[in-house]
Structure 1
Amino acid sequence: MQISQILHKIDSGDIALPEFQRGYVWTRDQVRAFFQSLYRGYPIGGFLTWSTKADSANTRGGGPEKDGTVQLLLDGQQRVTTLYGVTQGRSPRFFEGNQAALTGLHFHLETETFEFYAPAKMKDNPLWVDVTALFQGGLGTLLPSITALAGSDGSLVAAYIERLNRITQIKDRNIHIEEVTGKDMTIDVVVEIFNRVNSGGTKLSKGDLALAAICASWPDARPTMNTALKNWSHAGFTFKLDWLLRNVNAVLTGEAQFSKLGDVEVPEFQSGLKQTIESISYLLNALGGRLGLDHGRVLNGRAAFPVMSRLLHHHSGKFPDAMTRDRLFYWFIHSFLWGRHTGATETALNQDLEAVDAGGVNRLIETLRQARGGRLEVRPDDFQGSSMGSRFYPLLYMLSRVHGAQDLGSGVPLKDGMLGKLSSLQVHHIFPKTLLYKYGYSRAEVNAVANFCFLTQDTNLQISAKRPEDYLPEIAQKVPGALESQWIPTDPELWRIDAYRSFLAARRELLAEASNSFLTKLLEGPSPVGLAAPTHATVLRSATAPVPAAATDEDMPGLAQLLKDLRRQGFAEPELDSEVTNLVPGSPVLVATAFWPQGLQEEVGGPVVLVPETTQDEQAALEASDYRVFHSVDALGRYVDNMHADQAA
């Protein structure tokens, strides 16, 4: 079938995307390489479709109502979407992804190469031709400019026309389409086929399968969930669709396994989804107001939300009293500090959901205490973790918010949303990084959580890279109480660079004491009176995360430039200084310099970890969990270069 016919069938609804398919993930480099292959006449593979009844087909993005059959695209989504987007000048109705990957493709008449628009290189340069404009307007619109460009050289005019014709004739190219059809092709069978032919990508999860079954009867399920995810994202919280579905599952079934959703009727799911979305917004408001955890960067413990959503379900969607709220948050903090829901997620979730159903928040706390061997307290050594990926970084931020830690420059209590150009919160190294590296301290010591505090941007700029022994005495004199409010040891002997390790030990003692004091207050809770809590209609305000220092070559040589290059090429944004999640049960906690949990390309390939060094146990855990590990920027850069070479081949 010709490509032009395939594109027409997409418009008419004869070819569509099944709901279980994920979004568009190609980078601009892949789009460029794909069109280079088409131009050169290289093989680009065929497509695989599933022919099913149109009246029962569950398609992404909807479309014209049809009788008969519809072909659901199982293999070829990225190629079809690229062809449609570039040639039609718009994305297909089923599109979910980065629109920028499909706009601005240009062709150079001399070098016969494809590149995306770059003003410095292409502006007012007639040798660069807009590919989409060529498909939309045809060759005739370019003939005057081509003739003027070639002058009196007729052979050059002919060469230019031949090259442009070769592009427009891409739509005439025939592509083989293989169909999967038959009454025995159930959704489960088709998904198995999909996973086999998409072995290079991320396989469909249990959540995808559950959602596919739901969408078969209620096509608006996915759009409704995506709208909620988008609203939370605007407020500073980024969640995955699987995560929301697991919350819904917990609310409706009280179980962690997605298979339980198979017994849920559509009206019940619709009601449960609405209730769950309201409960999550309610929880986010409460966490921000009570604990100061007001943006995604400090919201650890996301896997615990299904348990909290289930508890709210038992109380009509809100806390019955302030004591229940505080005790639940006591459990929530301890659950993420000790990694309660990492590894075997469903096992721990089922235990906690059972505890909530049997005895509420008190049973939850007792279950966690037993799992911890009776220990639910923070010790100074627990703050030995390094980087903002440490589980104890959110605890430090929370303490700073709930205790009204003061800005070291102005003495003003720190809070989110401070007004003024230079009043945004920033993460500050009390002992500056450059100074510590100069004196031979390790990266883990430099980025120790106990070396962090929070300041306004103005104060951070004023302090800059000064030695603590130079700027801390001035703060102690000008802003009495500010150092104590941030748990910074006040002994001047500890402010010297040679006493840095002693400084960290002293601050860890202060932080542990403050943590246990606050957690005890949560456990004891206020008197159990009715709670005037936010309503479901409360609109989450957009919070601003404290700005970390930009990735620098001090952390890993060449890191800043590599991340800039990857961003420019359209690769996924990594989590920086992040705890590596979903390792095999019993694995040690590992904080990576950069972590791509969904792969360098979102939803394609396995997770990627960049970390300077690992212990033998850490390396074994990463390999057992199928993580691709790089120990240097150069190694990761070579891997990316090889990806480009494979795509261009």
Structure 2
Amino acid sequence: MKISTALDKIDEYQLFVPAFQREYVWKRDDAKQLVDSLIKEYPTGTMLTWETNNPPELKGPYKYDEKQGAVRILLDGQQRLTTLYMLIRGQIPPYYTAPEILNDTRGLHVNVETLELEYYSKTKMANDPRWQNITDVFQRKVRAKDIVRDLEKKGDEVSRERDDLLDDNTRAIENILDREFPEQTVPVKATVREAIDIFYKVNASGVSLTDAELALAQISGYWPEARDIFKRKLSELQGKGYVFKLDFIVYVLLGCLYHLGSDMKKLHGPENNETIRDAWKLLDEQVLDYVASIMRSHAFVDHTDEINSVYALVPIIVYCFDKGGQHLNDYEIRKLVKWFYYSQIRSRYVNQLPQKLDRDLRTIKEAENAFDELLAVIKEERRLEITPDEFVGRSISHPLFGLVRWYLKSKGAFCFTTGVKLRQAMGEKYKLENDHIFPFSRLKALGYGRENRLKYSLAQELTNRAILTQFANRSKGAMTAKDYLGAVKERFPDVLALQCIPEDPELWEIENYEGFLQARRKKLSEDLNAFLEGITETKPPAVPITLEEMIAEGEGEELEFKSSLRWDFVEGSVNKKLEDVVVKTIAAFANGQGGTLLIGVQDDGEVLGLEGDYHALGEADRDKFELHLRNILNKSFGTSFVASRVRVSFPSVGDTEICQLDIQSSAKPLVITVKDKNGQTQEKFYVRSGNSSQEISLSEMQSYLAERFRA
């Protein structure tokens, strides 16, 4: 079949890609090599098709109509044909959508004189008319004589031979469309099951598909919708920061059904049809979301980018699956979190993945204390204790940095500049980044550049990193460590300790850089070992009061309700003066023994929620509300106080979300500035009196301050 014919059949809905095929995974280098081979007339493989009037589930939105009669199903050659479609048509083929194309191979350019292939580079191609988008060449939009004219305008002399070469090369590329793409066909009488078996046999001996991908193809044979169903769940999890590939789901299913990480053929047979659907129902509706919640709330994993190997989640998922979706108790959770941390820093699944999963999943099935035994397995192979030497020359790509990050989150560490907690980064502006404490530009001047590999590794060592928001990182610049850390400590006295940074100013001098590294390695190793050991320390379970019980008790000296931040429910409009009332309440709590403010709860305890405030902020959401609230608080009290003394959270009462502010007692008097009815600013000092916030008169203030803030 000619290449042009194959593309036409795709456009005419006569050639389809079955749903059981894997996604488009080729990259730009693959596309370049394919076109290079076609230009040089090298073999480029064959195409395996199946002509049938009973096709399986198809990729894309198109639904087969039996009135069409027989159509062709592409069993092998999808990567090549999809690449050619995008390069020749300049569009994504109809069986894919743009988000499904992870590597867009369009935009390939060709030098029509040398036939060199490259993706667009402005410096190389902008002023050289020989470089043309190959899609334009395929579509006959490029003429050799136009290139010659443009070259001559630039002052290049174009000989007759050169003119002919440009013309010959242009036509040679155009003629690729007439090249035969050798086609092998599966007989019309073949069933869907037989077609999938042929697909499997064609791919099983090669390296193009993994065992998991081949297993997924077989699953799609007896459960045609499986791939799309799995992809919907993956998309849902991705929205929560947990990004997985389809093969991860296959490993999970194999683990749940057979407690294996290898022998994917066990999933091939249609006898799995009912059991795999039942297993998926439990995974989809309960287990996967539950595990994601555990990892976020107890292991402080906010995104799978932070994880060294996501396959460490497979035993955890299988363990929860074996519990029938029931919630784990606190001690079980702490044990699995501890094992997870060690699986990451000791690279449990970096190699021999199927074999190690076999052993670990068998332990999950058979052992009474599964995660204790799994931890013992790691201990057999690697030392558990973290030593200072392990940090030497290790960059942020090392698994230890992931553990450092989770540990800092667990401590409530926050950004040096913005005061935003590492767990509360909001939006792209406050995305977390890993910044050099000692700027590389200054270290490079002292010989820590790339020319000295050992010293360069020390400059990039993870112990020379602090975790900041993107906003803070951009504003920091190349300040010296001494100036930078000194300013940070003055502004936020506790923040360096929270990020395990040595506080001896002598170590901040650049000539003492390696001494700084040694001190931080020691500090981190000690703290991380204590952190890991402490995870499973037995503690008497606390029985905290529920939010509903707190509201039912009503307002008091340490609890106050506010209907909203700025939405006036009586007037039905925005009332910014309500923000001043919130500020006054926080000041009163801070000047006393601390307390809790609930926004979205009426004085009588009726839960109103935050929808009024969201509307008042321009149809906002929680993130915008929190950002607005923090801006008010930072302006009124200063970033240091807010970061260290105010905790903002958004619990739900039933299905209604409210805002909870937990305010700690201030270490020094907190005076706020307010405007009177004439617009004049005045300083006020508020305290709690029963269930309300009251201003103290000047005559009372002196004795109160002496008692409350005495040294």
TM-score (norm 2): 0.61
Distance between the aligned counterparts of 2:195 and 2:397, measured in 1?
Answer: 43
Q: In the alignment, what sits opposite 2:372?
A: 365
The one-letter amino acid paired with 1:48 is M
Residues 253 and 261 in structure 1, CA contact (< 8 A), matched pair in contact too: no
Residues 234 and 244 in structure 2, CA contact (< 8 A), matched pair in contact too: yes
1:248 pairs with 2:253 = yes
Q: In the alignment, what sits opposite 1:76?
A: 77
1:204 to 194, 209, 212: 209
Q: In the alignment, what sits opposite 2:410?
A: 402
Q: SS state of the match for residue 427, structure 1?
A: strand
Q: In the alignment, what sits opposite 1:191?
A: 200
Residues 218 and 267 in structure 2, CA contact (< 8 A), matched pair in contact too: no
2:519 to 506, 513, 529: 506
2:440 to 433, 457, 463: 433
Distance between the aligned counterparts of 2:333 and 2:508, measured in 1?
Answer: 40
Deviates further, 496-505 or 168-177: 168-177
2:314 to 299, 306, 309: 306
Equivalent residue runs for 1:153-552 within 5 Å:
171-179=177-185, 187=196, 190-194=199-203, 202-257=207-262, 258-262=264-268, 265-277=272-284, 278-359=286-367, 362-373=369-380, 376-384=384-392, 386-409=394-417, 413-418=421-426, 421=429, 423-437=430-444, 438-440=446-448, 442-524=455-537
Deviates further, 449-458 or 308-317: 449-458
Equivalent residue runs for 1:590-605 within 5 Å:
none
Distance between the aligned counterparts of 2:221 and 2:527, measured in 1?
Answer: 52
Which is higher, the Rg of structure 1 or of structure 2? 2
Q: SS state of the match for residue 524, structure 1?
A: coil
- Alpha-carbon offset, residue 18 of structure 1: 5.0
1:24 pairs with 2:53 = no
- Alpha-carbon offset, residue 37 of structure 1: 7.1
Distance between the aligned counterparts of 2:362 and 2:376, measured in 1?
Answer: 15
Q: SS state of the match for residue 372, structure 1?
A: helix
Gapped regions of structure 2 (runs ≥ 5): 151-159, 449-453, 547-621, 624-711
Distance between the aligned counterparts of 1:71 and 1:465, measured in 2?
Answer: 61
Q: In the alignment, what sits opposite 2:46?
A: 47
Residues 220 and 227 in structure 2, CA contact (< 8 A), matched pair in contact too: yes
- Alpha-carbon offset, residue 368 of structure 1: 1.7
RMSD over aligned CA atoms reads 4.7
Q: In the alignment, what sits opposite 2:3?
A: 3
Deviation digits for residues 104-133 of structure 1 (CA, Å, limit 9, x no counterpart)? 678899999988788999999999998768
The one-letter amino acid paired with 1:246 is Y
Deviation digits for residues 408-443 of structure 1 (CA, Å, limit 9, x no counterpart)? 34555433324694x443212222223334244623
- Alpha-carbon offset, residue 242 of structure 1: 1.3
Deviation digits for residues 186-236 of structure 1 (CA, Å, limit 9, x no counterpart)? 75564343355xx5xx43222122111111112221222223333334444
- Using a 3 Å threshold, how does the CA distance of structure 1 residues 71 and 291 change in structure 2: closer, same or farther? same
Q: SS state of the match for residue 485, structure 2?
A: helix
The one-letter amino acid paired with 2:105 is A
Deviates further, 162-171 or 87-96: 162-171
Q: In the alignment, what sits opposite 1:638?
A: none
Distance between the aligned counterparts of 2:427 and 2:94, measured in 1?
Answer: 41
- Using a 3 Å threshold, how does the CA distance of structure 1 residues 482 and 106 change in structure 2: closer, same or farther? closer
- Using a 3 Å threshold, how does the CA distance of structure 1 residues 118 and 370 change in structure 2: closer, same or farther? closer
Q: SS state of the match for residue 536, structure 2?
A: helix
Equivalent residue runs for 1:562-641 within 5 Å:
none
- Using a 3 Å threshold, how does the CA distance of structure 1 residues 34 and 448 change in structure 2: closer, same or farther? closer
Residues 352 and 364 in structure 1, CA contact (< 8 A), matched pair in contact too: no
- Using a 3 Å threshold, how does the CA distance of structure 1 residues 111 and 424 change in structure 2: closer, same or farther? closer
Distance between the aligned counterparts of 1:419 and 1:81, measured in 2?
Answer: 35
Residues 321 and 530 in structure 1, CA contact (< 8 A), matched pair in contact too: no
Distance between the aligned counterparts of 1:285 and 1:19, measured in 2?
Answer: 31
Distance between the aligned counterparts of 2:510 and 2:124, measured in 1?
Answer: 49
Distance between the aligned counterparts of 2:42 and 2:385, measured in 1?
Answer: 62
Q: In the alignment, what sits opposite 1:630?
A: none
Deviation digits for residues 156-190 of structure 1 (CA, Å, limit 9, x no counterpart)? x9999999887776545544323455979775564
* Alignment: residue pair count: 522
Distance between the aligned counterparts of 2:303 and 2:236, measured in 1?
Answer: 13
- Alpha-carbon offset, residue 100 of structure 1: 4.0
Residues 251 and 276 in structure 1, CA contact (< 8 A), matched pair in contact too: no
Residues 367 and 373 in structure 2, CA contact (< 8 A), matched pair in contact too: no
- Alpha-carbon offset, residue 328 of structure 1: 1.5
Q: In the alignment, what sits opposite 1:620?
A: none
- Alpha-carbon offset, residue 405 of structure 1: 1.5
Q: In the alignment, what sits opposite 2:105?
A: 101
Distance between the aligned counterparts of 2:185 and 2:525, measured in 1?
Answer: 63
- Using a 3 Å threshold, how does the CA distance of structure 1 residues 64 and 529 change in structure 2: closer, same or farther? farther
TM-score (norm 1): 0.66
Deviation digits for residues 264-297 of structure 1 (CA, Å, limit 9, x no counterpart)? 5223222323433442333223222223210223
Distance between the aligned counterparts of 2:540 and 2:415, measured in 1?
Answer: 32
- Using a 3 Å threshold, how does the CA distance of structure 1 residues 133 and 307 change in structure 2: closer, same or farther? same
Residues 87 and 132 in structure 1, CA contact (< 8 A), matched pair in contact too: yes
The one-letter amino acid paired with 1:207 is A
Distance between the aligned counterparts of 1:289 and 1:448, measured in 2?
Answer: 28
Higher relative contact order (CA 8 A, sep 6+): 1
Q: In the alignment, what sits opposite 2:672?
A: none
Distance between the aligned counterparts of 1:114 and 1:33, measured in 2?
Answer: 9
The one-letter amino acid paired with 1:483 is L
Distance between the aligned counterparts of 2:362 and 2:114, measured in 1?
Answer: 66
Gapped regions of structure 1 (runs ≥ 5): 150-154, 534-540, 543-649
Distance between the aligned counterparts of 1:471 and 1:208, measured in 2?
Answer: 51
- Alpha-carbon offset, residue 326 of structure 1: 1.9
- Using a 3 Å threshold, how does the CA distance of structure 1 residues 532 and 516 change in structure 2: closer, same or farther? farther
Residues 339 and 374 in structure 2, CA contact (< 8 A), matched pair in contact too: no
Deviates further, 43-52 or 114-123: 114-123
- Using a 3 Å threshold, how does the CA distance of structure 1 residues 299 and 370 change in structure 2: closer, same or farther? closer
Q: In the alignment, what sits opposite 1:643?
A: none
Q: SS state of the match for residue 356, structure 1?
A: helix
Q: SS state of the match for residue 248, structure 1?
A: helix
Distance between the aligned counterparts of 2:138 and 2:418, measured in 1?
Answer: 60
Distance between the aligned counterparts of 2:119 and 2:52, measured in 1?
Answer: 40
The one-letter amino acid paired with 1:55 is N
Deviation digits for residues 499-533 of structure 1 (CA, Å, limit 9, x no counterpart)? 33332232222223322333334213565699999
